[in-house]
Amino acid sequence: MDNAELAIGIDLGTTNSLIAVWKDGAAQLIPNKFGEYLTPSIISMDENNHILVGKPAVSRRTSHPDKTAALFKRAMGSNTNWRLGSDTFNAPELSSLVLRSLKEDAEEFLQRPIKDVVISVPAYFSDEQRKHTRLAAELAGLNAVRLINEPTAAAMAYGLHTQQNTRSLVFDLGGGTFDVTVLEYATPVIEVHASAGDNFLGGEDFTHMLVDEVLKRADVARTTLNESELAALYACVEAAKCSNQSPLHIRWQYQDETRECEFYENELEDLWLPLLNRLRVPIEQALRDARLKPSQIDSLVLVGGASQMPLVQRIAVRLFGKLPYQSYDPSTIVALGAAIQAACRLRSEDIEEVILTDICPYSLGVEVNRQGVFRHFLADY
């Protein structure tokens, strides 16, 4: 088998990234050098101007926030820059460092070089954001032979085990983006009927709102905290949020004093209500575009770490009147699906044929420069 025949899939996430390979008839996650599947999408520069990627950079988000970058996936398609020490990086460059780290981990694990990969992106990524993703891959020494929408990738992994003629809704709430996709399985075809999303709604927004409420309860102005103190508070709040405990207990330090507060579920629901309501908009749009009612959805697939928040799950259950499909890890299913798509592209003998029909998630049209008018001739499905 030559190098081009490796079926590699990558989930380039806002908060964590993963890489997987199709091997021995199944999609398998590849561990990083620390023996973990999740590589934090965080970049830092140490005192010797060495670049740190992933786990070594996590603690420096608190200790050296001025030399650490995170959440840069949200800036794909923009001109935003991060200054780490004396160097400046844009979003594709920072993303390329994460991709290069994943590439090196995979090559060490497989004992072979890799080049061609399938990379997942949010379904609602624009053309410019997709170009930046391909650029990041190129800078990392990779060839992104295909970009697959994240909910569709999850559906690829889920679809290998689902029943014939099933309609599913994939609810993908990650660290920075929210996507909804309605699909139908009719082996060997997976047909995407509709996609909708919000590129600025994710778990980080829930964390940010909770940090503001913690400061409000403590009667502490955000401006009185330095960068390290604020980063430490964010870390405490994020850890508490991810624990999914009730009540949510947060302990943090302010001016050498330990502060504590608790949030009961009804308080969190009131606090996060604006964000929870925003979840409904893409769901309703996707159902409307697919010309379906919630009762016509056979299965609900929750994807992304933030989808495991109890209040988020409750919203999903209320809307569809059914419990989500739970026999998978929502944090890893996208990477596995990307590897499955890579295997299908290579027509691997040990995988059943899967025909995927996806949609363009945004409108196409003609811009008239002289009048500043954009008239779309093709809707977003």
Q: Is 150 a known active-site residue?
A: yes
**Residue whose pair of structure tokens reads 């302990």 in the numeric block:** 251
Same domain, 24 and 150: yes
Exposure letters 13-52 (e unless 16+ CB within 10 A, then b): bbbbbbbbbbbeeebebbbbeeeebbbbbbbbbeeeeebb
For the chain, the first-to-last Cα distance in angstroms comes to: 39
Tokens describing residue 20: 């997987």
The yes-or-no verdict on residue 175 having pLDDT over 50 is: yes
Give CA separation, 348 vs 7, 9, 149, 187, 319, in Å: 9, 14, 21, 17, 39
Domain assignment of residue 292, yes or no:
no
Q: Structural domain of residue 243, as residue ranges?
A: 203-267
Q: Is 172 a known active-site residue?
A: yes
CA dihedral 201, 205, 209, 211 (to 10 degrees): 180
The yes-or-no verdict on residue 130 having pLDDT over 80 is: yes
Same domain, 20 and 86: yes
pLDDT digits (tens, 9 = 90+) for 341-378: 999 888 866 677 677 777 776 666 666 655 666 666 55
Domain assignment of residue 258, yes or no:
yes
**pTM of the shown model:** 0.90
- Per the residue annotation, which of 105, 172, 205, 238 is the catalytic one? 172
Domain assignment of residue 188, yes or no:
no
Tell me, what CATH number does 129's domain have? 3.30.420.40
Q: Judge whether 72 and 52 are in contact, CB under 8 Å.
A: no
- Per the residue annotation, which of 93, 105, 116, 150 is the catalytic one? 150
Domain assignment of residue 278, yes or no:
no
Domain assignment of residue 58, yes or no:
yes
Domain assignment of residue 177, yes or no:
no
pLDDT at position 1 is: 43
Domain assignment of residue 311, yes or no:
no
Mean pLDDT, residues 304-309 taken together: 93
Domain assignment of residue 309, yes or no:
no
Q: Is 107 a known active-site residue?
A: no
- Per the residue annotation, which of 73, 116, 205, 241 is the catalytic one? 73
What's the total number of domains in the chain? 2
Q: Is 23 a known active-site residue?
A: no
Same domain, 93 and 207: no
